Amino acid sequence: MFKVSELTRRQFINVLDGRRLGPIKDVHVDEKGMITAVVLRGGKKLLGIFPWGKDVVIPWSQVKKIGVDAVLVEAEEV
């Protein structure tokens, strides 16, 4: 068991290509309180200030391993 706030301290890494996907922005939860997806802040920042790019929604079924420092996901199209 873990707290959702603990996910904000971990890197999200795609195991298919080894890329960091970005920090967590939000979590989708169903009516039973189960996590259905995580929303990652996409893209980079324009001039280091303004967000640039689309957010990435990763279904919870694609989360493969939650480690101490990282969360490994298997995302085909990111």
Q: What is the pTM of this model?
A: 0.78
> pLDDT tens digits for the chain (78 residues)?
778 888 888 999 999 999 998 889 999 999 998 999 999 987 665 555 555 667 889 999 999 999 999 999 998 876
Q: Which of 63, 67, 15 is nearest to 40 (CA)?
A: 63
Are residues 72 and 18 in contact, defined by beta-carbon separation less than 8 angstroms?
A: no
pLDDT of residue 38: 94
Q: What are phi and psi of 5, to 5 degrees?
A: -60, -25
Type of residue at 60: W
